[in-house]
């Protein structure tokens, strides 16, 4: 409403008017399927996940690892110099304990999304979930290791890693 208009004329439509078909309307359900060409960098990154390894690229000018792999360094606009194959271990940089799921449903067992800095990437993190751990025991700086799906279930996606579990240095 505004300064001059305190009430608009007419009757607003209610959800029930549509549901009970009291008013005429057309429905519209566009087909918005898409296929995103993953390209050289992400393509090999996803293919790497299918094969159970984490693939990045390195820019020798900026002395950094790009993860997920990219073909160009967006800092210096050069083609990257080489592929790097990183370990599936890392360190929890930050985390959250979520009692709400992706459909806004309540969860009895919380999910623990975390940013995990991958070993050998000099601090580049990926978003993922923690598992096999009591939420109370999760700490920043905790060492974690990827738990992969069985090879035949992998699809070339970040979900090919089921979750990350805590591990002791020197064990598998």
Q: Is 159 left (phi over 0), alpha (psi -120 to 50) or beta?
A: alpha
For other proteins, give the closer residue by CB, 83 or 167: 83
Angle (CA) 140-117-68 rounded to 5° is 150
For other proteins, give the closer residue by CB, 85 or 99: 85
CB of 105 to other proteins, least distance (A): 18
CB of 60 to other proteins, least distance (A): 12
Nearest to 87 by CA among 153, 152, 143: 143
Residue with tokens 């890392």: 90
For other proteins, give the closer residue by CB, 79 or 100: 79
The binding site for other proteins (CB under 8 A) comprises 10, 13, 18, 23-30, 32-44, 46-47, 57, 69, 71, 79-83, 156
CB of 112 to other proteins, least distance (A): 26
Collect contacts of 32-40 with beta carbons under 8 A, ≥24 apart. Answer: 39/71, 40/71
């Amino acid at each position: 409403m505004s300064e001059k208009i305190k009430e608009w004329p007419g009757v607003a439509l209610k959800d029930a008017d549509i549901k009970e078909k009291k008013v005429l309307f057309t429905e519209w359900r566009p087909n918005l399927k898409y296929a995103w060409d993953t390209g050289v960098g992400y393509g090999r990154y996803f293919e790497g996940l299918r094969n159970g390894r984490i693939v990045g690229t390195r820019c020798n000018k900026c002395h950094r690892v790009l993860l997920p792999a990219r073909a160009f360094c967006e800092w210096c606009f050069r083609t990257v110099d080489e592929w790097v194959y990183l370990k599936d271990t890392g360190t929890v940089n930050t985390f959250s304990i979520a009692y709400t799921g992706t459909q806004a449903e309540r969860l009895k067992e919380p999910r623990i999304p975390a940013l995990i800095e991958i070993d050998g990437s000099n601090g580049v993190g990926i978003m993922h979930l923690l598992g096999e751990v009591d939420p109370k025991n999760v700490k920043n700086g905790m060492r974690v290791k990827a738990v992969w799906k069985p090879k035949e279930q992998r699809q070339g996606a970040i979900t090919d890693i089921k979750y990350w579990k805590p591990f002791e240095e020197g064990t598998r």
